[in-house]
Amino acid sequence: MTVTKYSANGNDFIIFIAQEKADRSALAQKLCHRQNGVGADGMVVVLPHPEYDFEWEFYNADGSYAAMCGNASRAVAHFAHEKGICKDGKAEFLTGAGVIRATINGVYVVSDMVTPRIIRTDIEEDGENWWLIDSGVPHLVAVRDDIDTFDIVQMRKLREKYNANVNICKVTDDAMYVRTYERGVEDETLACGTGMVACFIRNHKEGHVPDQIRVHPKSGDELYVSYEDGVYRFGGKVTKTFIAETLI
């Protein structure tokens, strides 16, 4: 089979086209394996849809299904545009979290995120306040003055207790910095789109950031998150790294 590898600010994905839905959990585990497969944080399957440009199936590296992934939404929109599945620099596709609309301008892709849900704002763990926000998938968010220290043991404990991704973020005068532990990868990743959006939502609600701000994940790349006309938008560059045939 032929697969395309994309990187979206350090989050990497394997993308391919299929004609039918299927349980591809085992395939995702094989393809995403860093040593014995192609290697990726997740796998995206592009499927035909009668109403939208396409539908996707998204799998984490461990084979688990995920309803949404912000960085993958930008990568797959670019992929579909190149394949002629969508046209005129616009993509509209169905995910497990709802319909995503994206705009493609060269390698810069902006996704309109699904309507988020603020589930809880009163979680106290380790003497710190956490918000639980579903921005397509659930995220715990804590705001700190310093995020240089990333306690992986604490992150895993919180991930297991709340079955959510775990984010720490800090805000400066003109930017927000985010680090994320992702379930399904079960480690810190270089970037997480829905995590950056969840961090923006909390800080925006608390009045710490304006309606648009630069965001830097661990990869150091520059992205933008904004709130416009009731819609949260997430934009940044994507990179098609290679196309390959795999025997897996």
- Can you tell me the distance from the alpha carbon of 161 to that of 78, in angstroms, rounded to the nearest whole number? 35
Q: Are 215 and 196 in contact (CB under 8 A)?
A: yes
- Output the pTM of the full model: 0.92
The pLDDT score that the predictor gives to residue 113 is 96
SS3 136: coil
What would the pLDDT profile of 92-144 be if each residue is shown by its tens digit?
A: 999 999 999 999 999 999 999 999 999 999 999 999 999 999 999 999 999 99
Q: Is the pLDDT of residue 248 over 80?
A: no
- Active-site residues, by number, are 69, 192
Q: Is the pLDDT of residue 58 over 90?
A: yes
Residue 169 CB contacts under 8 Å (≥ 6 apart), including other chains: 141, 142, 143, 144, 147, 176, 177, 178, 179, 199, 202, 203
155-162: average pLDDT: 98
Q: Is the pLDDT of residue 233 over 90?
A: yes
Could you tell me what percent of the chain has a pLDDT over 70?
100
pLDDT band of residue 247 (cuts 50, 70, 90) is confident
209-224: average pLDDT: 97
What would the pLDDT profile of 164-207 be if each residue is shown by its tens digit?
A: 999 999 999 999 999 999 999 999 999 999 999 999 999 999 99
CB atoms within 10 A of CB 57: 20
What would the pLDDT profile of 2-49 be if each residue is shown by its tens digit?
A: 999 999 988 999 999 999 999 999 999 999 999 999 999 999 999 999
